[in-house]
Structure 1
Amino acid sequence: MPVRVGSLNLASGRDASGRSVEAATLTSVVAELGVDVLALQEVDVDQPRSHGVHQPAVVAEALGAADWRFAPTLAGTPDPFASWSRLHPVLDQGALTGPHYGIALVSRLPVRRWHVLHLDPGPLKLPLVAPDPRTGARKLWWFPDEPRAAVAAELDGLTVVGTHLSFSAPSAARQLRRVHRWVADLPGPVVVAGDLNLGGSLSALVTGGRRLVAERTWPAPDPKVQFDHVLSLHGARGSDPEVRQLPFGDHRLVAVTVGR
């Protein structure tokens, strides 16, 4: 049975103004995506910046999900003067309390088994310009790479893996090779959906897989590179690829119908 698989870097639901949208907007947009399985990255739970919304739960309800899992990789509220707690991800379906951040995988189809893989962060730091909470002035901050994760859902005849890899291309390539080895023990065919932070055909070169969507996705308003992929590792074929800009997120949605 063909399965429509999508991936979206939610960026905490931030719109063009940099503010996170309310739950109602998130719901109305997701309800129109027309996907069966959606991999989400940069997802907030109970964060002040995103109105305390449990974004995985809201997306799951809007999609009419039969099953979903959130894999937090960081706990706490982002602040240049405070440290996140780095987590080895566990699979959660709404039982966590307090602010968290990570990835999610949402399925309208029944899931036979769930799996989660911890991926060590890369050694580099990311330069970001952001307001100083003490003065409001924008300044340069250096943020360490965060722990990463991959979540796999075994469906009937297909395994879908959602992930978000390091901002450093060498670290992302190392993590993707780790994911590739991991899925060898999962039932195929397998597709990996997510923000892989590997431009163009690099993800296919690293794995020997096949890109099922080949179009630029970042930055969303005027894409220069494709970071967001649905990557076939074990024989799955794709049709009707789509790249779409949404009212939130700094990457474009990618989606494709996957079959044997």
Structure 2
Amino acid sequence: MRVATFNILHGRSPEDDQVDLDRFVDAVASLDADVLALQEVDRNQPRSAGADLTALAAEAMGAAEHLFVAALHGSPGVWIAADGDLAPDAAAYGVALLSRLPVLSWESVRLAPVPVRVPMRFDGNRRPDLVRDEARVAVVATVDAPGGPITVANTHLTFIEWWQRRQLRTLRSALTGHPGRLMLLGDLNMGEERAQRLTGLRSLVSAKTFPVDEPTEQLDHILGTLDVDAAVLSGGSSRLALSDHRALYVDLA
């Protein structure tokens, strides 16, 4: 059973600054994942040819089960926080979880952004800029996997470090009581040691994922409980033909 996570940068390649849907489909197929977590996913956005990237990915990997959950509605420059997903055809941006295995239940968890503008210093700037955090979300599936159910959560956390702990606390609280083993996937915007410490889960694969050309840090993670850790056969990262992140994967017995 292969589990993978990939921040897809809405399907764009930094090399030519283009979204090529055929390239996106080929990249997803090449991962050959049984369960796949995607972040920075577009739906009905002009910059990605108005495509439903979740549906394209599901077809590419043969996933009968899949769910996109919007974090934001609208388009770049005019984003608004998504509150539920009551407009399935609206332009949106969020996370998706896809599975070749049967899914017993689905859930979404809203993760509140920092409520005020936050000073951030960017490269080349002497003074910090005030930035507004984005709304975040997690999608959770209980997968009917060999050996029993696994609860799999996918999220993309804020880049504001002191708020990440609160978002993880919200998510872990929502996952309490879910059946079977637990896995947390996604772009957590933090390193491996901190991800393990804040979640209380074990890192199932250690591999640098960002930036894509010559990665220096691991921002993307596949974490699990002890019983999942015991099933790990191998894992690593893959440089694909799109995104500023590498995909991360783990093979489980």
Secondary structure of the corresponding residue to residue 155 of structure 1: strand
Q: Which segments of 5 or more consecutive residues in structure 1 lack a partner in the other structure?
A: 130-139
Q: Does 1:150 pair with 2:150?
A: no
Q: Does 1:210 pair with 2:202?
A: yes
Tell me by how many angstroms 1:16 deviates.
2.2
Q: Does 1:48 pair with 2:46?
A: yes
Pairs within 5 Å for 1:182-201: 182-201=174-193
1:133 is matched with which residue? none
Tell me by how many angstroms 1:20 deviates.
3.5
Aligned residues: 241
Aligned partner of 1:254: which letter? L
Q: Which segments of 5 or more consecutive residues in structure 2 lack a partner in the other structure?
A: none
2:166 is aligned, of 171, 174, 178, to 174
Secondary structure of the corresponding residue to residue 31 of structure 1: helix
Maintained 8 Å contact 2:19/2:47: no
1:85 is matched with which residue? 80
CA spacing shift, 1:47–1:127, aligned 2, 3 Å: farther
CA spacing shift, 1:234–1:69, aligned 2, 3 Å: farther
- State which drifts further: 62-71 or 170-179: 170-179
CA spacing shift, 1:144–1:31, aligned 2, 3 Å: same
Maintained 8 Å contact 1:77/1:100: yes
1:161 is matched with which residue? 153
CA spacing shift, 1:192–1:12, aligned 2, 3 Å: same
Maintained 8 Å contact 1:154/1:187: yes
Maintained 8 Å contact 1:212/1:230: yes
Q: RMSD value over aligned CA atoms?
A: 2.1
- Which runs of structure 1 show a deviation greater than 4 angstroms over 4 or more consecutive aligned residues? 125-129, 140-143
Q: Percent identity?
A: 37
TM-score by length of 1: 0.86
Tell me by how many angstroms 1:154 deviates.
0.6
TM-score by length of 2: 0.88
* 2-structure distance, mates of 1:183, 1:145: 24
Maintained 8 Å contact 1:207/1:233: no
Maintained 8 Å contact 1:128/1:143: no
